[in-house]
């Protein structure tokens, strides 16, 4: 049995005609770091709150470490939770905030001090122990919230968008701190975020949700390279994957502006019998360099450049192609001006194909 098992979990709020979470099935191994990700309202925080015990489960079973938890009170589930708003006590110092939960557990004073000292040390809070939350930065407050969670030595950490209130630089720093902390403590962690970059860089596995339903669960690169459907393909990756609705005839993809792409033999087999599909291609798999144009000269297409975003280490190039706005991720030295005409190719081995009606990936 896995450390956490969610079996056919459903959540419907009173007065609603539809579920907020539908038939959620997932197994999480001990020590694993799993991220729930998806757009606002997809059910990821609701699922986390059901695991924590803050929301009742309408139907289904939640098992933690071999015990059925549906009717177990939140305080008896052996869980530590970190919230988006930190939830620190403003009148308490850093060390008091960290040790407060231990005091409520009536642990001996020397043990409380030992655990608090340990948390302050590994989180770099030793010089801030006597400060109150109003005198801390956002990143420091978040570290205090983490400290309060880790001193309980719970087997399971639940984190609900803990970095969303921080600026971009602090988010990067705190992502690294949380990942490092997980490697040290080896606690099972469930992390909710709307930010796919956080999920990709931190998690062992990602669960992508939409409208309360799991769309796909897997390792970050598995989702990136082998998305189960068009939603997953568009949600994971920045810039977003480009999508084209194309007809198939006589071994060619036919784009909306009349452009044609000759299918490889493997693609012909994959798309056999289909007349219309959605083709997806990531920005880094659109090539302008001469060596790619020479290699795929029978499938050269044409672009009218609209804008170049200079990112520093790379550029995002926006252009009109095949009748729609497209974005390519190119080398940092590759800069074009609006109105420039450029030839490009799609890498055939990197094309993704989705059913035009169901949006499921075509394998």
- The reported pLDDT for the residue numbered 176 is 87
Closest among 224, 183, 198 to 32, alpha carbons compared = 183
- The reported pLDDT for the residue numbered 168 is 81
- The reported pLDDT for the residue numbered 85 is 77
pLDDT at residue 79 greater than cutoff 80: yes
- DSSP state letter for 240: P
Residues 80, 98: contact at Cβ < 8 Å?
no
Residues 222, 236: contact at Cβ < 8 Å?
no
- The reported pLDDT for the residue numbered 147 is 87
Question: What's the topology of domain 4-235?
Answer: Rossmann fold (3.40.50)
State how far the alpha carbon of 50 is from the alpha carbons of 2, 10, 23, 191, in Å: 18, 10, 13, 14
For the chain, what are the domain ranges?
4-235, 242-355
The correct answer on CATH 3.40.50.300 for the domain covering 242-355 is: no
158-186 tens-digit pLDDT: 999 888 877 788 788 888 888 988 898 89
**Least-confidence region, from 132-146, 214-228, 263-277:** 132-146
Q: What is the mean pLDDT of residues 351-356?
A: 97
pLDDT at residue 82 greater than cutoff 90: no
3-39 tens-digit pLDDT: 999 999 999 999 999 999 999 999 999 999 999 999 9
Contacts of 187 (CB under 8 A, 6+ apart): 31, 150, 154, 155, 156, 157
What is the Rg, in whole angstroms, of the alpha carbon atoms belonging to the chain?
Answer: 25
């Amino acid at each position: 049995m896995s450390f956490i098992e969610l079996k056919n979990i459903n959540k419907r709020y009173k007065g609603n005609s539809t579920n907020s979470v539908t038939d959620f099935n997932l197994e999480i191994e001990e020590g694993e770091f799993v991220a729930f990700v998806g757009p606002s309202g997809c059910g990821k925080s609701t699922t986390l709150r059901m695991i924590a015990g803050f929301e009742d489960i309408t139907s289904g079973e939640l098992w933690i470490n071999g015990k059925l938890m549906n009717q177990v009170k939140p305080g008896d589930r052996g869980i530590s939770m970190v919230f988006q708003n930190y939830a620190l006590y403003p009148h308490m110092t850093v060390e008091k905030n960290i040790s407060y939960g231990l005091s409520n557990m009536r642990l001996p004073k020397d043990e409380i001090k030992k655990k608090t000292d340990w948390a302050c040390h590994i989180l770099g809070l030793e010089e801030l122990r006597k400060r109150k939350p109003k005198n801390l930065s956002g990143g420091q407050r978040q570290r205090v919230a983490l400290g309060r969670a880790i001193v309980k030595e719970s087997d399971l950490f639940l984190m609900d968008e803990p970095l969303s209130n921080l600026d971009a630089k602090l988010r990067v720093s705190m992502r690294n701190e949380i990942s490092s902390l997980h490697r040290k403590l080896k606690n099972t962690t469930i992390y909710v975020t709307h930010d796919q970059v956080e999920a990709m860089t931190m998690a062992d596995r990602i669960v992508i949700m939409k409208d309360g339903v799991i769309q796909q669960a897997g390792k970050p690169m598995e989702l990136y390279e082998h998305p189960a459907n068009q939603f997953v393909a568009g949600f994971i990756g920045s810039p977003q994957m480009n999508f084209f609705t194309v007809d198939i005839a006589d071994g060619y993809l036919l784009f909306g502006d009349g452009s044609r792409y000759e299918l490889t033999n493997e693609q012909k087999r994959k798309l056999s019998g289909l007349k219309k599909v959605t083709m997806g291609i990531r920005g880094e798999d659109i090539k302008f360099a001469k060596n790619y144009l020479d290699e795929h000269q029978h499938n050269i297409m044409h672009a009218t450049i609209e804008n170049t975003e200079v990112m520093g280490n790379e550029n995002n190039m926006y252009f009109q192609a095949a009748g729609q706005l497209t974005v390519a991720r190119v080398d940092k030295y590759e800069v074009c001006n609006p109105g420039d005409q450029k030839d490009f190719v799609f890498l055939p081995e990197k094309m993704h194909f989705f059913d035009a009606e169901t949006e499921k990936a075509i394998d």
